[in-house]
A and B are shown apart, each in its own frame.
Chain A
Amino acid sequence: MPTDAVARSSRSRVDWWLPLTIGVLLLVLSPVVWLLMMSFKTEVDALAMPPKLIFVPTLENYSGLLEARFLRPLLNSVVVATVTTVLSLALGVPAAYALSRGRAWATGGIAFWILATRMAPPIAFAIPFFLAYRTIGWLDTLSGLIVIYLTFNLSLVIWLMRAFFDGIPVSLEEAAWIDGASLGQTIRAVVLPLTAPGIAASAILCFLAAWNDFFFALVLTRSSAMTAPVAIVNFMHYAGWDWGRITAGSIIVALPVIAFAVPVRRYLVSGLTAGALKG
């Protein structure tokens, strides 16, 4: 099997590869572990010199988040990420299907455009959107964020789902057609169930991309529509950095991401490269 072609070549060595790998992994994850630890430390412990590795954990940073009215930005993040995902899927899945079944010439140009826009620095969109929203009063609104997130999520869905639809032979649909099913029925009964994993993966990737956004939220929101990442950075800017809340907030924002990313690990690279590469 190709998988082990490289590995087989040095099997004769003593097998300390596993401990090495685990060691490297722990080293790599240590900054994250430190963040986690800090979120459970009191301010005194956090600033102790030398830093405490053993300490009495506290939940005061997390409860402090409620006091700091972190709930609202957190909810904003959830709402925006969810709605933008639904919108992207609603628009993107049919488009992906169309591209998959359509002619090749359309896809070439669209492919380039999608790739180019995903690779563009966010500020290229932030400026015109800022100017436009300023005029129509969409600054600091959830709708404003939801729409601008389409710039990266719509193309993500289209490209990812197109690959999935490509994997379903047209002959299956034609067989259903011969059996008398309409296109709508065919799609519902035959195509969609087969691409369900793809839709789930696209949904998760969209959600994560929106959840993780910082730049657009920084520039386009102020107080009502502020999302969680911006709220955390706010804690850094109030007089005297509030490390407890910063770290607790960070953990809360990071956990769902890690949880959701695990099932879609296979598609992460595709998601990040607009489908140009497999990971």
Chain B
Amino acid sequence: MAPFSKRFAGTTIRLSMFDTAFPRGLRGLVPEFTELTGINVDFELLGFTVFLQRSDLELSGGTGAVDAMTLVFAQSGRWIGAGWPEDLTPFIKGSNFDIDDLLPGPLAAMRRGEKIYGIPWLADSQLMLYRKDLMSTPPDTFDELLETAKRIHSPSVAGYMPAGKAGLNWVFPTFLYGFGGKFFANPPTDLRPELGRPEAIQAADYWAGRLLRNYGVPGSANFEDTEGIATMQQGRAAMWIHSLGQLTGALDRQKSAVADKVAFAAPPRGPAGRFPQVASHGLMIPMASKKKEAAWEFIRWATSRETMRRVALDSQHAAVTRASVLNDPEFKKKYRLAGSDVPALHLAALTAAGAGYMSYRTVPEFPAVTERVVIALSATASGQKSAADAMTAANGEILRLLERAGHKVR
């Protein structure tokens, strides 16, 4: 890779990312970047749902107020389709960036043919964090999960940690597919929604209607990820299925009361199999930015092998996207976490997803679809509607939504 220079010394770039392990670790290293290049970085770290709202407004408004930002997996289809991220291919070539070291799976979501629109820094997979002091073996099937949650659930320790709105959006699919359901018939071509089918209803009923409603941490429906992490750290929940990037927060020895009492496992499997979700988030440059070259300098520094390795080793970022880092012996040693082989679990999830069941998530209309699903699940989890009513209604709305977007879905 081309060396860094002080060509852009004195510029300030604005960076906006949502809060998770990697940006947290990255933020500490930014002064070194400024040292190296003379570029100042205005680093904004937001809660996930707020980040999405702001980013959408920023991108659709094209104000150029942000120079580099996270490219969210679930939005990648929509944002790239709208032409909002800048094509990074010329920058990659021009600076000899070692793009080949990046794992192809995570990169695929940000690539359209020869053009690359984002550099992935997070190849997130879904794992289950559990309290090994409260159970001898983690649950392996959905039924076991429910039983274990029920058994452990008490006023001081909830059976399960719902992780708020992000959780409804991100974890429900594991159960949807686990029960044999799906979002669309055959994305990206056949987008007929299948959320009103018995399997989907069963998944919603199990997940929101029973697990979250009865054994969830009270008041967690509005939690952002940070509050979820804090709750786990305080030892107030027994199990949590979420992305690796957030789960590792519970291991922070300084803040977590249960750092030594947790372990990792794969998410449980349902009648139709195990479908851990994966997502890749990257860094992109909005089209409206006026400081693209400087922004690229930052991106290539942030996603470089050295930086990524350091963040992985110094903080809790295990969901790396570079083959070289994944195979690094120190990395492997560090993340043999709590007796669980996290890199192995992580790789297993990424490999499983290679089968293609994640293709629903990069459909451009997915963000609008998931908004309706989250509302249905939220209504089910709070007892306002039965799973059947909520999901059937949502499916009808989604059908019309897709029709309005111009798809043939009937």
Contacts and interface: CB of A to CB of B under 8 A. Distances in A.
A219 interface: yes
A46 B24 CA distance: 25
B61 A239 contact: no
A223 interface: yes
Interface string B1-38: 00000000000001000010000100000000000000
Given A219-B57, A222-B58, A223-B14, A239 B45 contact: yes
A276 B24 CA distance: 54
A164 to B, nearest CB: 40
A222 B58 CA distance: 7
Given A219-B57, A223-B14, A239 B65 contact: no
Given A239-B45, A239-B47, A223 B61 contact: no
A8 interface: no
Contacts of A140: 61, 63, 65
A224 to B, nearest CB: 7
A134 B61 CA distance: 5
A145 interface: no
Contacts of B63: 139-140, 222
Contacts of A222: 54, 57-58, 61, 63, 65-66
B57 A239 contact: no
Contacts of B24: 239
Given A139-B63, A222-B65, A240 B226 contact: yes
A267 interface: no
A237 B62 contact: no
B375 interface: no
Contacts of A133: 61
A238 interface: yes
Given A222-B61, A222-B65, A237 B50 contact: yes
A16 B350 CA distance: 74
Range class of the A interface residue count: 10 to 19
Contacts of B66: 222-223
Contacts of B65: 140, 222-224
Interface in A134-184: 134, 139-140
Contacts of B47: 237-239
A157 to B, nearest CB: 30
B185 interface: no
B358 interface: no
A239 B62 CA distance: 25
B58 to A, nearest CB: 6
A243 interface: no
Contact of B226 (A130, A134, A239): A239
B61 A130 contact: yes
Q: Which among A133, A219, A222 has the greatest number of chain B C-beta atoms within 10 A?
A: A222
B257 interface: no
B46 interface: yes
A141 to B, nearest CB: 9
B58 A239 contact: no
A238 B61 contact: no
A62 B63 CA distance: 31
Interface in B42-74: 45-47, 50, 54, 57-58, 60-63, 65-66
Q: Which among A139, A140, A238, A239 has the greatest number of chain B C-beta atoms within 10 A?
A: A239
A223 B62 CA distance: 13
Contacts of A134: 60-62
A239 B19 CA distance: 6
Contacts of B230: 240
B358 to A, nearest CB: 27
Contacts of B58: 222
Contacts of B45: 238-239
Contact of A237 (B46, B57, B61): B46
A68 to B, nearest CB: 12
A133 B344 CA distance: 50
A61 B230 CA distance: 22
Contacts of A239: 19, 24, 45-47, 224, 226
A140 B288 CA distance: 13
Contacts of B50: 237
Contacts of B62: 134, 139
A204 to B, nearest CB: 32
Interface string A114-143: 000000000000000010011000011000
A140 B14 CA distance: 14
B14 A238 contact: no
A70 to B, nearest CB: 15
B57 A238 contact: no
A237 B54 CA distance: 11
Nearest to A130: B61
A139 B47 CA distance: 23
A20 to B, nearest CB: 36
Contacts of A224: 65
Nearest to A135: B62
A263 B60 CA distance: 43
A139 B66 CA distance: 13
Interface string B178-216: 000000000000000000000000000000000000000
Contacts of A219: 57
Interface in B224-248: 224, 226, 230
Interface string A214-240: 000001001110000000000001111
Nearest to B23: A239
Nearest to B24: A239
Contacts of B14: 223
Nearest to A240: B226
14 contacts: A134-B60, A134-B62, A139-B62, A139-B63, A222-B58, A222-B63, A222-B66, A223-B66, A224-B65, A237-B47, A237-B50, A239-B24, A239-B46, A240-B226
Given A140-B61, A140-B63, 4 more contacts: A222-B63, A222-B65, A239-B19, A239-B224
Nearest 9 CB-CB pairings of A with B: A222-B65, A239-B19, A237-B50, A140-B63, A139-B63, A223-B65, A139-B61, A239-B226, A222-B63
